[in-house]
Structure 1
């Protein structure tokens, strides 16, 4: 596909920055601010859009693994409520389908975790909690990287692609 989505977005951003913003009334601070927000949004979209499918697939795969590991805890039997069909590995990733699969996995993880919390052994409850905290921590790192261009996360491990591919750095340190 030529031009790519990124190339189209860069063209829009360039036209906006070079032609539209300079033509705006200098004394109209609201209009200037709004134009700046549009440019910042385009910068953010350019930063993340090529990683969206990988982000969604990573999250789906992580919740699949979490469900499998929670289901392996032996003190509470797994039920059909905890079953989510595995994705077809030969299928081309579709964003909408990835989101649906991830949501189904999150519902199943919640049901399984709730069952373990209610009826599991103390050892399984602790293991389930540790597994869930690990997934939540990794999801937090991904989300902070996803929204880093907004300026709100203060300690970000890197851009989203680096985080997703395991090439991120620890906040405050340079990459080796």
Structure 2
């Protein structure tokens, strides 16, 4: 299993903890979002770590529950960049590509598959190893991010012919 070295983990921890629990540099509005103070701190010289597709080690599949949980545990308050695509039956699943081919055992365009068909595929880790995990739904991913205290940054990909993702229909 590939792991973050102790020195790298310590550096990451020290670079991200400066804003954790720190008082805001500017007063946050009382009705403002809870994360406003965190981002005020980052903007005023703190550091935020973002994990592309949630991956922090090569043995993790991108956009997976395993990556979300491992990265969230290894890097406190990490921002996890996740990609979501609509299935044929209008369910949001995590997938960077338009097709299943590169990152799973599945084949074809996500937009042409139902959620049940997507869930039959198994994810491949970044190092190429096959896992037992299926691509997660956006809801499953957000639940996992919440369990480890990570910040989820979602890149929603519209279906063919659409310019936006209508979450009311998803």
Specify if TM > 0.5.
Answer: no
> Which one has the bigger strand percentage?
2
Normalising by structure 1, what TM-score?
0.29
> If you compute each CA radius of gyration, which structure gives the higher value, 1 or 2?
1
More helix by share: 1
